[in-house]
Amino acid sequence: MKRYLPAKWVVACLLMIFIWVTGCAKHNMSVLDPQGPVGKVQLNLLYLSTGIMTFVVIVVAVIYIYVVVRYRERPGDEEKDPPEQVAGSKKLEILWTSVPILLLIVLAIPTISTTFTLNKKPDPDHSIRINVIGYQYWWGFEYPDYKVTTSNEVHIPTGKKVEFILKAHDVIHSFWVPSLGGKEDLTPGRTTRLVLQADKPGIYEGKCTELCGASHALMRFRVVAHQPEDFEDWIASQVTPDSTPKNKQAEQGRRLFAQNCIGCHAIRGAGYKVLGRTAPELTAFSERTRIAGVLDNNRANLKSWLKNPQGIKPGNRMPAFDHLTDQQVEAMVEYLETLK
C-alpha cells in the first residue's frame, strides 16, 4: 500500500501548485488577464486548445490508471503462462487515428481564421501608427502622424487600434505586451507590424522576448493607455515640451547635459542644436515612470544610474559619469527631473 503514496502526493502537490500560481494577477503583465481585443481572442484560443487537450489527457489518464492498476504483476503470477500475445486491433487503431484528426480539425479552423483576422491591416482613419525601433536594451517610439518621439514608454489611446511598425537597429528583438496581445519580432533589415488595442486606461508592462545581449532581461518598456482626449493632451504636451530650466541649479544641469550627454541623448525644446539619436530620448523625463526601463523614476535612483549604469544594466552603451562631482550630479538630476 505504501508504494501508492507518492502518486497521491504528486497529485496533491500539483494541485497546490495549480491553486497557488493561478491566484489572480494584479499587475498588467499576464496573458490570462487580457486588457484588449487581441489578447482576448488569443486567450480564447488558448482556452479552446486547453479544453480539447484536457479531454485528450483525461482519456489517456483513465486508460493509463486502469492499465497500471489492473495489469500490474501480482505475487504468484510468475508461475502462470505469459499473457496472450495480441498483435493489434484494426478497429481500435482506426479509432485513435480518426478521433485526434477530428479534434485537430476543430482546433485548426479557428486557428486559421484568427490568424488571418489578426493580420488584417487596420483602417487608417480609425487607428494610429507608431514606429517602434529596437536598440540594444531600449525602445524608441515615433509618432509619424504627430512628429513626436519618445522612448521606453509608449502612450496610446484606448478603444483605438494601434499599428506598431517594428524595426530593429542592431540585433533581433521582440515586442511583447502580454496583457494586450501576442508578440512580433523586430528584425534588422526588415519591417514588421503588430496591431494591438487597449480597452481600458492603464499601464501595461512590455518586454523584449528575443535574446538580444547582456541586458536582454532588462529591456523592458511600458504601454500607457489614456482615454482618447487625455491622449490628445499628452500629444500636445509632447509637441511643445516644457524643457526650460526652472532654477539656477537646473540651468547648470542643462549646461552639463550639453557637455556630457547630448551626443547620444535628445531633449526637445531645450534649445540644443544637436539631438542625439543613439540613446533614449529624454524629453519630458520627469513624467516617465521608470529610468532606463528598470528603476522607479526618482532622484535617488537617477543619481545611482548616472554613477553606475553598467552595474544596473550590464552591457548597455552608457558610460559611468563618475567624473562628475556630487554637486554636478545633483544639478543634472534637478534639470532632468523638472522636464515636463
Partner 1 sequence: MATLIVIIVFALFLGAILTGGYNREYLERMQKSWIWQWITTVDHKRIGILYLLAGGFFFGVAGLEALLIRIQLMFPDNQLLTGDFYNQVLTMHGTTMIFLVALPLLFGLMNVIVPLQIGARDVAFPFLNSLGFWLYFAGGLLLNLSWLFGGAPDSGWTNYATLALNDYSPGPGINYYVLGLQIAGIGTLISGINFLVTIVNMRAPGMSYLRMPLFTWTTFVASILILFAFPPLTAGLFMMMFDRLFDTKFFAISGGGNVTIWQHIFWIFGHPEVYIIMVPAFGIFSDVISTFSKKRLFGYNSMVFATVLIGFLGFMVWVHHMFTVGLGPIANTIFAIATMAIAVPTGIKIFNWLFTMWGGRIRFTTSMLFAAGFIVTFVMGGVTGVMLAVVPANLQVHDTYFVVAHFHYVLIGGTIQGFFAGLYFWWPKMFGTLLNERLGKAHFWLFYLGHHLTFFPQHFLGLFGMPRRIFTYMKGYELEMSNLLSSIGAILMTAGVLALLYNIMLTLRKGEPAGSDPWDGRSLEWAISSPPPVYNFAQIPRVRGLDPWWLEKYEGDGTLKAAEPLGPIHMPSPNHLPFLMAMSFFISGLGFVFHSWQVGFLGLIGVAIILFVRSFEEDHGYHIQPDEWNGVES
Site for partner 1 in 196-215 (CB under 8 A): 205, 207-215
- Angle, CA of 183, 171 and 312, to the nearest 5°: 85
The only residue of 2, 8, 89, 326 in contact with partner 1, by rule CB under 8 A: 89
Q: How far is the CB of 128 from partner 1 (least distance, A)?
A: 20
- Does 308 participate in binding partner 1 (rule CB under 8 A)? no
Report if residue 295 touches partner 1, rule: CB under 8 A: no
Nearer to partner 1, 249 or 310 (CB): 310
* Nearer of residues 57 and 236 to partner 1, judged by Cβ: 57
Pick the closer one to partner 1 by CB: 20 or 326.
20
Size of the site for partner 1 (CB under 8 A): 97
Interacting residues of 218 by C-beta distance below 8 A, sequence separation 6+: 137, 292, 293, 294, 312, 313
Q: Is 32 in the site for partner 1 (CB under 8 A)?
A: yes
> Distance between CA atoms of 307 and 238, rounded to whole angstroms?
28
Q: At what angle do helices 90-118 and 37-70 cross, to 10 degrees?
A: 170
- Comparing CB distances to partner 1, the nearer of 85 and 240 is 85
What is the DSSP track for 217-247? Answer: GG-EEEEEEE-HHHHHHHHHHHHS---S-SS
- Member of 96, 125, 240, 326 binding partner 1 (CB under 8 A): 96
Query: Identity (one letter) of the amino acid at 15?
Result: L
Residue partners of 127: CB distance under 8 A and separation at least 6: 160, 161, 162, 163, 195
Under the binding rule (CB under 8 A), the answer on residue 85 touching partner 1 is yes
**Secondary structure class of 161 (helix, strand, coil):** strand
Tell me if 15 contacts partner 1 by CB under 8 A: no
Q: Are 183 and 172 in contact (CB under 8 A)?
A: no
Residue 79 sits in the site that holds partner 1 (CB under 8 A): no
CB of residue 2 to partner 1, shortest distance in Å: 12
DSSP state, residue 189: T
Here's the x/- map for partner 1, 34-63, by CB under 8 A: it reads as: -----x-xxx-xx-xxx--x--xx--xx-x
Residues 148-177 that bind partner 1 (CB under 8 A): 170-172, 174, 176
Q: Is 4 a residue that touches partner 1 (CB under 8 A)?
A: no
Binding mask 218-257 for partner 1 (x = CB under 8 A): x---------------------------------------
Site string for partner 1, 106-125 (x = CB under 8 A): -xx--xx-xxx-xx------
Q: Which stretch binds partner 1 (CB under 8 A): 18-26, 228-236, 251-259, 264-272?
A: 18-26
Tell me which residues in 124-153 interact with partner 1 (CB under 8 A). 136
Q: How far is CA 40 from CA 11, 25, 112, 133, 197, in A?
A: 31, 16, 16, 26, 11
| Residue showing cell 481564421 | 113
Residue 92 or 274: the one with the smaller Cβ distance to partner 1 is: 92
Q: Which three cell numbers stand for residue 282?
A: 529624454
Query: Which C-beta is closer to partner 1: that of 62 or that of 236?
Result: 62
Please select the residue that binds partner 1; options are 155, 161, 167, 216, rule is CB under 8 A.
216
User: What burial class does residue 89 get, using C-beta atoms within 10 Å of its C-beta: 0-12 exposed, 13-18 middle, 19+ buried?
Assistant: exposed
Q: How far is it, in rounded angstroms, from Cα 253 to Cα 333?
A: 7
Site for partner 1 in 267-286 (CB under 8 A): none
Q: Which three cell numbers stand for residue 312?
A: 544596473
**Residue 22 near partner 1 by CB under 8 A:** yes
